[in-house]
Structure 1
Amino acid sequence: MIGIVLSRADSASVHICEQLRGLESWREEYDDSRSDADGGGTVYRLDGAELREFEELHTHLDGVDSAFSDIDLLVFASRHAGETGPLLTAHPTGNFGPAEFGGYDRSLAQAAPSAQSTALAALTEHAPDGYDVGLEGTHHGPTELTTPSLFVELGSDEPQWNDPKGARAVARAILALRGVDPYDEKTLVGFGGGHYVPRFERVVRDTAWSVGHIGVDWALAAMGAPQEHHSVLRQAFERSETSYALIENNPALERTIEELGYRTVSETWVRETDGVPLALVNHLERSVRPITDGLRFGDRCPSTDAVSAECASIDYDGLSQIKIPADLLAAANGIDHERTLSTVRSRAVAVTTTENGTKLDQPVVVPPTVDRNHLTEAFITILQRKYDIERDGETVIAHEEAFSPALARQHGVPEGPAFGRLSNGQAVEVNDTIVTPDDVRERKTHMFSSI
């Protein structure tokens, strides 16, 4: 159940709620236990939502969730003010520093990260032509709420506050929040950047991660030295229900957060863990290597979209770490390292990599059902681009016709550029004699172990 707050002091709020009432068939009921100015009087209800009106501006409505009946999420239908043109936004509330616009100093409300992600998607879907859509950092009151909450806003000036199309878009986004869990296992707290948080918005749009409280640069400056304000930093995590932080360049803040026992992660880490159960991420980072050192997830446990049933049912202790024979791996990487990596990822739960995640390394993590012979055959397919291949039991035998420096010398070819041209398949002239690449090739044989 969502509770929707209408502020009569906010013309945009009034217009948004007019659109809300026009979009659904609400039941009108009367609550005489509270004053008309404090959410009593006429109350509007429908399945999954309750709308109440208040005289005071939203930012000063601390404790307003107590006016509602058994809600899971509190939504403030509000105006957005700024020099940003037509804009639809969403954000959590709180003050990292002094309370200049409602709420209390260094106090944060309960955020609703998953609901905020849903609101962003719904605002994007319903935004009228000419409107931008975005997220904002945590700011202003109210702060004293026990229910997860967010502002969903229509901005940024009088023409938009009175625009029925803009108000209807916000109303539709609010209705889309019915039945949405406010929290998500994959949630980050954000720190740094400008007020309109493009980096964190990008994470929300591009991945399954949600973002709770965001302390932008001006809010962190208002907070003061991070090592002196542990309480508000803890609130950012506790009231977003997460232990992960994504931080724009701020080493002092990063040190303090890690000292408090929370984990700072990179955007690469966030994207690589998208769609992968955090329990599996934690297991493999402990038992194999961290993502920062090259761990990447394979197609047998997708790193994008929804988590597959196969991945969700994996017995983590039953996973196998296998090592591809070093000479076989080096040969395949030398022929086509991109294809080598994609070939193994398609069969693995996770792989280890070098060179910023672009080149396969050791070991490879596979489910117990993997067929090692099929994996060997996949490597043979890569080797066949350079070699003639045969198998003898567990041995892969690779033959090639290769440039022979010794034969080139026998033909009087001087070392240097001429060697390079012959190696690349070009003939050279030596003492009025043409030496062709075929003249200086010899058959070489390489032996590789199977996987």
Structure 2
Amino acid sequence: MTIIISNEDPASQNIGDMLQQIRDWKSIEVDCEKVIAAFEFKRFRLVEIDGLHIYQDGLDRQLEACGLDSDIIIFASRHRSKDRRQILTVHPTGNTKEAKFGGHPMELAAAAPQAMRSIFLNLKTLAKNEDFEVTLESTHHGPSDLETPSLFVEIGSSEQEWVDPVAGGIVANAILMIDNENVPVAVGLGGNHYAPRQTKLIEETGVAFGHIFPTYKLDDLDETLVRQAFDRSCGDIAYLDRKSMNARQRNRLTEIIEGLGYDVLRESDIREMDGVPWQFCLELRKKMNDICPQGRTRITESIKSDLKTACKSCVCPKVKVATISPELLREAEKVDRTKLRNFLDTHSIAYLEHRDGSFSHTIIGIDDDCARLVAEELTNECINILKEHYDIRYEKDEGILFLITSKFNPALARELGIISGPLFGALARGETVTVDDMTVKPEMVYEIVEKPIRVKNIYID
């Protein structure tokens, strides 16, 4: 892991000095044109170069030629902005249409999402009692020609902060505390330059971000650049800050991303899968796309807890699916949706919702018995809900449940001399009426209606 210090950047020098103070680095001899000095400490290498970071295209290959190959390159740098806010930032590099500050147009450097997430979280922890804001930034400036995964970590935004030893110490420690946690990687689209929604998601959920593009650059993105963003981020999913873009941008990008074979997730989707092993999420989303392509997955807290035990050594149990009668579920949901949701949320399952928010008849568990038993219990729960509102008859051998209702029949009322009007309404409400000294009771103009519903469970491997 190589940390790059620039001799032309005061913030970089500050971070380099603090790194030297915190750890006992060993000087190493290097015959390399750009390298001023190099040091090593355990898994880290500290390299001071001649020149600004943003113009170091091809630096990874140059260092490798000097025997300084690396898995990750971390550029310790300054951050400059007009508002002069006290800020610590992390971001990948690259350009869309223009390359005003290093790199090449339409080129993205290889990002380091897991390392970027780790450093960001470390900065948040270390800066907790200081006056520095910690945030992601969207992808910008050079270098863009880097095959080795890289990131910038920066101190901003004025000369005062660049040389602040407190800021330098926070960044230095955040780098040394790096831990490459294996979490899903999203490519972020939308928002402003400081990517507030993506920043919040990294802070509050188990997701990492690779390349991030603000709303003002979305129209620069074509299929080639979107593909490059996923490839250079090793991305798993896309996250769209939907409220920050118009419908045209949203639809165009969704079509490109899905055409490349990636899922587009909402913030609620990412929060829903938080705490669930990514391997299980992948299988769950694949199953959902087969069963309910436009739907949403709901993962209960109980199954999240079970998965922590069940998923060992990165191996998770297979997704198991059972279904109940969609008609039965639909009728019960019409009557008491709240009771159904309470039932679903208190079992160790995942379940699906259609695009309109209604429940899918699919139950997902992590073993055969769980999915099947919950489907059976859900069937019984639906029947109990319907019993509270209907008379029912169950033909067990045929697996058919009949919902029995009394329904007002206008034709029967007309036969008794009652025409449309207020008397119709009274009878429909179950009230007795009088016509020409004749008493007409509701049961005289009502008919029994039986609605059949198949309720046999089906288990799917």
Shared fold by TM > 0.5? yes
2:132 corresponds to: 131
CA offsets per residue over residues 177-236 of structure 1, 9 Å max, x none? 1x416x75x222223332111232233234322211123244456xx4726xx2x44321
| Residue matched to 2:76 | 77
Which residue of structure 1 aligns with residue 112 of structure 2? Answer: 112
Please report how far the alpha carbon of residue 136 of structure 1 lies from its aligned counterpart in structure 2 after TM superposition: 0.8
SS at match of 1:79: strand
Amino acid at match of 1:149: S
Offset of 1:103 from its aligned partner?
2.1
What letter corresponds to residue 280 of structure 1 in structure 2?
A: E
- Structure 2: give runs of 5+ residues left out of the alignment: 414-421, 435-447
Identify the range of structure 1 (123-132 vs 65-74) with the bigger mean alpha-carbon deviation: 65-74
Partner of 1:435: none
Establish whether residue 93 from structure 1 lines up as the match of residue 93 from structure 2.
Answer: yes
2:169 equivalent in structure 1: 168
Matching residue of 2:291: 288
3-state SS, counterpart of residue 152 of structure 2: strand
Residue by residue over 1:92-121, the C-alpha shift from the partner in whole angstroms, topping out at 9 and shown as x without a partner, is 011222322122332211101111122221
SS of equivalent to 1:239: helix
Q: Aligned letter for 1:191?
A: L
- Cα deviation for residue 373 of structure 1 reads 4.2
In structure 2, give the amino acid aligned to 1:72: D
Do the aligned residues in 2 keep the contact of 1:102 with 1:141 (CA within 8 Å)?
yes
Q: CA deviation at 1:53?
A: 1.5
Aligned partner of 2:8 in structure 1 is: 9
The equivalent of 2:35 in structure 1 is: 38
* Superposition pairs of residues 128-207 of structure 1, within 5 angstroms: 128-177=129-178, 179-180=179-180, 184=183, 186-207=184-205
What TM-score comes out, normalization by structure 1 length?
A: 0.75
| Offset of residue 346 of structure 1 | 4.5
Where 2:155 maps in the other structure, the secondary structure is: strand
Deviating more after overlay: 94-103 vs 31-40: 31-40
The alpha carbon displacement at 1:39 in A equals 4.4
**Is residue 340–residue 360 contact of structure 1 (8 Å, CA) maintained in 2?**
no
Letter matched to residue 291 of structure 2: V
Equivalent residue number for residue 17 of structure 2: 18
Residue 8 of structure 2 aligns to a residue whose secondary structure is coil
How do 1:320-339 residues align onto structure 2 when only pairs under 5 Å count?
A: 320-324=321-325, 326=327, 328-339=328-339
Percent same amino acid among aligned pairs? Answer: 28
The whole-number CA distance in structure 2 between the counterparts of 1:162 and 1:61 is 23
Shift of 1:345: 5.1
Q: Taking structure 1 as reference, are residues 377 and 310 closer, same or farther at Cα in structure 2, changes over 3 Å only?
A: farther
Partner of 1:433: none
SS in 2 for 1:351: strand
How many angstroms does 1:159 deviate by?
A: 2.1
Check if 1:48 corresponds to 2:43. Answer: yes
Shift of 1:329: 2.1
Task: Provide the secondary structure at the position in 2 that maps to 1:17.
Answer: helix
Alpha-carbon separation, structure 2, partners of 1:255 and 1:396: 43
Determine helix, strand or coil for the equivalent of 1:283.
helix
> What are the within-5 Å matches in structure 2 for residues 296-315 of structure 1?
296-299=297-300, 302=303, 307-310=307-310, 313-315=316-318
- CA shift, 1:160, in A, is 1.6
Give 5+ residue unaligned stretches, structure 1. Answer: 431-442
Residue 246 of structure 1 aligns to a residue in which SS?
strand
Separation in 2, partners of 1:58, 1:3: 13
The 2-side partners of 1:405 and 1:362 are apart by 32
SS of alignment partner, residue 40 of structure 1? strand
